[in-house]
Amino acid sequence: MNLRLMSITGCLFLLGVVKAQQNIPVYLDTSRSIEERVEDALSRMTVEEKVAITHAQSKFSSAGVPRLGIPENWASDGPHGIRAEVMWDEWYGANWTNDSCIAFPALTCLAASWNPEVSYLYGKSIGEEARYRNKNILLGPGVNIYRTPLNGRNFEYMGEDPYLASVMVVPYIKGVQSNGVAACVKHYALNNQEIDRDHVNVNVDDRALYEIYLPAFKAAVQEGKAWAIMGSYNKYKGEHCCHNQYLLNDILKRDWGFDGVVVSDWGGTHDTKEAIYNGLDMEFGSWTNGLDWGASNAYDNYFLANPYLKLLKSGEVTEKELNDKVRRILRLVYRTNMDHNRPYGSFGTKEHALAGRQIAEEGIVLLKNDRNVLPVNLNKVKKILVVGENAVKKMTVGGGSSSLKAKYEVSPLAGIQSRVGKDAEVTYVQGYASPAVKEQDVKDAKVPEQEKIDYAALREEAVKAAKGADVVFVVGGLNKNDNQDCEGDDRKSLGLPYEQDELIAALSKVNPNVVVVLVTGNAVAMPWIKNVPSVVEAWYGGTEAGNAIASILFGDVNPSGKLPFTFPVKLEDNSAHALGEYPGDGENVTYKEGIFVGYRWADKQKSKPLFPFGHGLSYTTFDYGKAVADKKVISKDDQITFTVTLSNVGNRPGAETVQLYIGDKKSSLPRPVKELKGFKKVYLTAGEQKEVSFTIDKEALSFYDDTKGQWVVEPGKFEAYIGASSGDIRSTVGFELK
């Protein structure tokens, strides 16, 4: 071909490309902005197509627009791993063989890491698993505040403090969404108990609402830029939270500028008109033909399906609200399934398992360690006894919607055995047992037959074995059975179930080296605490749980987790219970304690918890210097910096989370003694020291004045408390706001 011919062909080719591009409809043109594409897609959709995308078409999916090539949405629980596939219209498992995921530690464990970088790793990893499985909405993370230790779902949340939960939730969301998968933050809002969750009306004052219960959601929306949020089951101001004028239209969409999708909790929609007008965008999981329970393939009868269409067709409602819902849903689809540049994800990988292990190792909390019984030194300890059902029980299964089909799960016993190898003898006895439960996700599952549990005999066997052991690990706690850490109901008491208190007490009588390893997502009472030298809170650790626990017990990893919630001595030390405001009268629950939740209440009552918020020990020792402030007096627009020198004066490397609390000495409305306003996890080698600084501004000094309906900051004297936990303040420095 001569040169001339080549250039003519080239021109023709280019013209062709330009022409082809011109023919690309705007909604498919990747060079256009998402908003332009959304508007174009919207303008091409029929009213039936619009209504079709606002509600579920199966248990976990909603329709796309097949005529336009706009894909479906597929959601998955969340928040600790990607749930196994269920049937199209049934809750039981679909028995796929390629859906076994990596189970990550429960969110309480993540919160206990006090490490935002680890939270990003969590989000990125679980997002990759979701992406690989072609899920574009991950149903998590959960940030409902820990109001009572009885809440069956606390393990899915990030503790009692709004600041900690806010800082920890943001990187999780960013990590998930970096995969082109929407995080769906849940359960918005005030779903702080499981009892009566589908109808209880929560009465809470505006101060507690804005200062305690909303900040983590606000951070998720404004800083995390979450693409979806899930309404909760309960009511607020008499309206179900899935279609709630105040929470959804006024606060979330108007005040916070949320541009994503409000998804109903499964079965949380109750009324078509409320759903149309009060901020719901997508309806999932309604049980029904719109009225009663259990009709199958009822999707056309969902509140936002045919009943909605009927109202539109009759002219009783206009398309205004519908268009807003559809815009939001399309925006989510463009951010996820229609983002051609998003990564492909990965699933069940070693990297994810190791990420999970790292998160677990950073979250495990050493609660007590007298006589340095931990870490166990295998040069000296030759006979190890492991006791307890939780040493062998699968903990990735159960608990409700967060239950997982994990690719594998290393039990605490397996983790200990593999770490110990031939260096010592490891014996296991059960010590206690839990009643048999129905298998989850299995069609027509029945409760397996089980002989009556003879607790005394199990205990006796354990005591006998403990007599000759150098160290006894009691691996107990709660589990994910009903009334333990499980969705749908709450715990019945703060105590350990299945006669574990008796077991631990009996073991501690015959062996001085009893180490209690708790596997829970909640605080428990410890009547035996004085009789055992060491206690570890291991949480639900996921796929690599046992390896993470072993690495802590034998000192390969120096523990660095800190409690994300208070462990009260007894239930009545918790404000909701002290004031008798739990679980309400079946219709209403009133949060009489207001802002005094968790350590805010303990401080107010000057009571000493069993273990305070923020508590966690290390195998090394950290010394805090005297905290200094860079200013003594500040004005409203100033920042102020506090600095403290932290030294590792022990003989092994370790990490300490230095915590900053602020207290307002005098204010027009009652305020907590102190509130968390900063924290930093600092890694120090043996002998090393570092300066740790916190800079705050007026936001950290302000409170929500419900008489004015706004955040205010009042001049006066403040105190900055720097310490190792809310109960262990090492240095205090005063300052004044002019």
- 133 or 577: whose CB is closer to ligand BGC? 133
- What is the dihedral sign for C-alpha 240, 213, 183, 355? negative
- 82 or 538: whose CB is closer to ligand BGC? 82
| 609 closest CA partner among 523, 504, 701 | 523
| Burial of 678 (C-beta count, 10 Å sphere; 0-12/13-18/19+) | buried
Contact (Cβ atoms closer than 8 angstroms) between residue 212 and residue 162: yes
Order of strands across the sheet that contains 675-684: 633-634, 728-737, 716-725, 654-664, 675-684
Element (H, E) at 22: helix 3-23
Could you say whether residue 489 binds ligand BGC (CB under 6 A)? Answer: no
For residue 216, give the amino acid letter. Answer: A
| 213 closest CA partner among 193, 243, 184, 228 | 193
Convert residues 414-443 into a mask of x (bound to ligand BGC by CB under 6 A) and - (unbound). Answer: ------------------------------
- 37 or 270: whose CB is closer to ligand BGC? 270
- 81 or 727: whose CB is closer to ligand BGC? 81
Q: Which residue is nearest to ligand BGC (CB)?
A: 401
Convert residues 677-716 into a mask of x (bound to ligand BGC by CB under 6 A) and - (unbound). Answer: ----------------------------------------
Could you say whether residue 409 binds ligand BGC (CB under 6 A)? Answer: no
- 194 or 664: whose CB is closer to ligand BGC? 194
> Other C-beta atoms within 10 Å of 8: how many?
11
Q: How far apart are CA 448 and CA 464, in angstroms?
A: 30
Binder of ligand BGC out of 358, 401, 620, 648 (CB under 6 A)? 401
Minimum distance from residue 595 beta carbon to ligand BGC (Å)? 26
Minimum distance from residue 178 beta carbon to ligand BGC (Å)? 21
Could you say whether residue 328 binds ligand BGC (CB under 6 A)? Answer: no
- 139 or 200: whose CB is closer to ligand BGC? 139
- 137 or 276: whose CB is closer to ligand BGC? 137
Q: How far apart are CA 324 and CA 315, in angstroms?
A: 17
| 413 closest CA partner among 473, 483, 355, 332 | 473
Binder of ligand BGC out of 266, 428, 565, 613 (CB under 6 A)? 266
Binder of ligand BGC out of 78, 260, 398, 559 (CB under 6 A)? 78
Minimum distance from residue 233 beta carbon to ligand BGC (Å)? 7
Q: How far apart are CA 574 and CA 570, in angstroms?
A: 8
Binder of ligand BGC out of 49, 99, 160, 265 (CB under 6 A)? 265
> Other C-beta atoms within 10 Å of 468: how many?
11
Minimum distance from residue 463 beta carbon to ligand BGC (Å)? 41
Contact (Cβ atoms closer than 8 angstroms) between residue 401 and residue 76: no
Torsion angle of alpha carbons 488, 492, 496, 501, nearest 10°? Answer: -160
Hey, what are 142's tokens?
A: 């959960």
Supply the DSSP symbol for 213.
Answer: I
- 37 or 186: whose CB is closer to ligand BGC? 186
Respond yes or no: is residue 603 known to be catalytic.
no
Catalytic site residue from 265, 573, 603, 705: 265
Interactions with ligand BGC, residue window 114-143 (CB under 6 A): 139
Convert residues 219-258 into a mask of x (bound to ligand BGC by CB under 6 A) and - (unbound). Answer: ----------------------------------------
The distance from CA 272 to its chain's CA centroid, rounded to whole angstroms, is 30
Could you say whether residue 85 binds ligand BGC (CB under 6 A)? Answer: no
Minimum distance from residue 389 beta carbon to ligand BGC (Å)? 27
> Other C-beta atoms within 10 Å of 14: how many?
10
Minimum distance from residue 488 beta carbon to ligand BGC (Å)? 8
Contact (Cβ atoms closer than 8 angstroms) between residue 175 and residue 119: yes
Binder of ligand BGC out of 49, 77, 389, 705 (CB under 6 A)? 77
Minimum distance from residue 107 beta carbon to ligand BGC (Å)? 12
- 243 or 730: whose CB is closer to ligand BGC? 243
Convert residues 170-189 into a mask of x (bound to ligand BGC by CB under 6 A) and - (unbound). Answer: ----------------x---
For residue 517, give the amino acid letter. Answer: V
- What is the dihedral sign for C-alpha 590, 592, 597, 602? negative
> In degrees rounded to 5, what are phi and psi of residue 19?
-60, -45
Minimum distance from residue 326 beta carbon to ligand BGC (Å)? 23
Give first-to-last CA distance, the chain, whole Å.
Answer: 83
Could you say whether residue 274 binds ligand BGC (CB under 6 A)? Answer: no
Could you say whether residue 61 binds ligand BGC (CB under 6 A)? Answer: no
Q: How far apart are CA 404 and CA 391, in angstroms?
A: 18
Minimum distance from residue 443 beta carbon to ligand BGC (Å)? 17
- 198 or 205: whose CB is closer to ligand BGC? 198
Minimum distance from residue 271 beta carbon to ligand BGC (Å)? 19
For residue 735, give the amino acid letter. Answer: F
Please work out the total of residues on this chain that contact ligand BGC, with binding judged by CB under 6 A.
7
Which distant-in-sequence residues (6+ apart) come within 8 Å of 481 by Cβ?
398, 434, 435, 437
> Other C-beta atoms within 10 Å of 702: how many?
16
Minimum distance from residue 193 beta carbon to ligand BGC (Å)? 13
Could you say whether residue 368 binds ligand BGC (CB under 6 A)? Answer: no
The distance from CA 363 to its chain's CA centroid, rounded to whole angstroms, is 13
| Residue the block writes with tokens 């304690």 | 593
- 75 or 729: whose CB is closer to ligand BGC? 75
Supply the DSSP symbol for 611.
Answer: B
Query: Would you please indicate which residues are annotated as catalytic (active-site) residues?
Result: 265
Residues that bind ligand BGC (CB under 6 A): 77-78, 139, 186, 265-266, 401
